[in-house]
Structure 1
Amino acid sequence: NSADFVDKIKEVNLTPEQKLVSFDVSALFTSIPTKEAIKVIKEKLQQDPTLKERTNLNVDQIVELLMFCLDTTYFSFDEKFYKQTHGAAMGSPVSPIVANIYMESFEQQALSSAIHTPSIWLRYVDDTFVII
């Protein structure tokens, strides 16, 4: 939110060489590559030492349920029904979670190979602010 953003940048002093950049991911939920997102989520679940304390489901069962949620999405438009074939559905409770986990992984990969490491990288859902 705006207040949190202001708190994080109010003490920042820019050098003349630094640049402020902001960008937005267009249609984030429907742009998420769901197969890659599921792979990232599966890896995170496999690395979670507390998963067994929080659920009786194993990783494969959770992934199967997630795939079901992402692959069986339908919507209506102009009195016709359509199957969503790309990304995560707008309005689905699982979409923000999948999008955030995928974006975090995407950012980690991008930042680990960046020539210039940003001094600040702040993202809220699909909006990102960077000082580089």
Structure 2
Amino acid sequence: MAKPLRDHLFDTIRELGESDLKTFKDKLNNFQPKPGYNRIKWGELEKADAVEITRLLVSYYKEDYAVDVAGKVLEDMDKKNLAHNLLQATGKGGTQQMPAPTSSTRTRVTETVRFGQWKITNGLPGDLPENTILVTVDVEALYTNIPQKDGLQAIRNSIPDNVTANLVAELCDFVLNHNYFTFGDNVYLQVSDTAMGTHMTPQHAIIFMADLEQRFLSSRPLMPLLYLRYIDNIFIIWTHGKEALEEFHHDFNNFHPTINLSLDQSTQEIHFLDTTVLISNGHVNTTLYRKPIDCYTYLHASSVHPNQTT
């Protein structure tokens, strides 16, 4: 059964943060619809959440035109990716051409497909080789295995201006060395690695891994056909055979003393985040992946839970 248009609308709107949601409502209030339709009144929009905004859009413009209106408002906000995804999901958009990737990936791209909440490349020129291997790599306990010294150096490496780089590193160093927490009646100070509860930790981990993988990949004689990472989850398309893959994994695993990588591989299909990636007729295809323990339980939109939870 096809997903209703209003559900696609709601899914898109709830991806907006608090600030962007206010901008969306303001621009929606000022949007000039085509003849036969009225603008949504500010009194109805001012305190509306994602559920209510979806209801107003459908009520004022019907489902089909409501998608067009939302897409145009998002584009006006410079949220072109969200607008494109909404139009693609509702059958109103064409194939988007992607810019050429960096030379470090050595990958050519012709089109994109939806991959969880982001995109992976697809449509590689020609058929994939018969020895193609789908690979997922998990960085084990990444946050608590980043030495503070190495993390700060990665931050410096990521900023071209030395003055700015040293200032940002100094600020990050202050956060890393003033992470106090309580357990029972005692107060503790974390003195090594990175705290999981610190707000800067995800960005810190991303910068560290970007620096680490850039240095590692630049030294490799054989490169993956495709290499993508989301924080501590890596997806690879490998075309150089199993033995070369094992060597790649071994060397990557030993590239840094505290970073351990667990690898899973398949020549047919593999699960990555909320997506199953599979090879069919020499091409990569994707479908939704649900864990076997998924109970398919959902919070109703009218629940008393906070909006960001529902």
Relative to the length of structure 1, the TM-score reads 0.78
Name the SS of the counterpart of 1:64 in structure 2: helix
In structure 2, the partner of 1:54 is none
Q: Any idea what the Cα deviations from partners look like across 1:11-30, whole Å, max 9, x if unmatched?
A: 35532222111011121111
Measured after TM superposition, the shift of residue 74 of structure 1 is 2.1
Larger Rg: 2
Find 2:167's aligned residue among 61, 75, 82: 61
**How large is the RMSD of aligned CA atoms in angstroms?**
2.3
Q: How many Å separate the matches in 1 of 2:135 and 2:215?
A: 19
Tell me whether 1:89 sits opposite 2:195 in the alignment: yes
Find 2:130's aligned residue among 5, 16, 24: 16
Tell me whether 1:74 sits opposite 2:188 in the alignment: no
Q: How many Å separate the matches in 2 of 1:90 and 1:71?
A: 14
Q: How many Å separate the matches in 1 of 2:166 and 2:234?
A: 32
Q: How many Å separate the matches in 2 of 1:94 and 1:111?
A: 26
CA gap of 1:104–1:58, structure 2 versus 1, over 3 A, is closer
Find 1:39's aligned residue among 153, 157, 160: 153
Find 2:210's aligned residue among 80, 99, 104: 104
Measured after TM superposition, the shift of residue 9 of structure 1 is 4.6
Kindly indicate which of the two structures has a greater share of residues assigned to helix: 1
Q: Any idea what the Cα deviations from partners look like across 1:108-130, whole Å, max 9, x if unmatched?
A: 11111123200111111111111
Tell me whether 1:113 sits opposite 2:219 in the alignment: yes
Structure having greater relative contact order (Cα 8 Å, sep ≥ 6): 1
Q: How many Å separate the matches in 2 of 1:117 and 1:125?
A: 20
Give the total of aligned pairs.
122
Measured after TM superposition, the shift of residue 80 of structure 1 is 2.8
Question: Structure 2 counterpart of 1:105, which letter?
Answer: D
Question: Does structure 2 retain, via aligned residues, the 8 Å contact 1:29–1:87?
Answer: yes
Question: Does structure 1 retain, via aligned residues, the 8 Å contact 2:158–2:207?
Answer: no
Gaps of 5+ in 2: 1-114, 239-310
Question: Does structure 2 retain, via aligned residues, the 8 Å contact 1:41–1:101?
Answer: yes
Q: How many Å separate the matches in 2 of 1:33 and 1:95?
A: 12
Tell me whether 1:25 sits opposite 2:25 in the alignment: no
CA gap of 1:63–1:4, structure 2 versus 1, over 3 A, is closer
Q: How many Å separate the matches in 2 of 1:10 and 1:3?
A: 16
Measured after TM superposition, the shift of residue 40 of structure 1 is 2.0
Give the share of equivalent positions with the same residue, in percent: 34
CA gap of 1:4–1:90, structure 2 versus 1, over 3 A, is same
Measured after TM superposition, the shift of residue 102 of structure 1 is 0.8
Question: Does structure 1 retain, via aligned residues, the 8 Å contact 2:138–2:232?
Answer: yes
Measured after TM superposition, the shift of residue 77 of structure 1 is 2.9
In structure 1, the partner of 2:299 is none
Q: Any idea what the Cα deviations from partners look like across 1:25-81, whole Å, max 9, x if unmatched?
A: 121111112211211212333x14xx9xxxxx8443332211110111122334433
Question: Does structure 2 retain, via aligned residues, the 8 Å contact 1:40–1:105?
Answer: yes
Question: Structure 1 counterpart of 2:191, which letter?
Answer: T
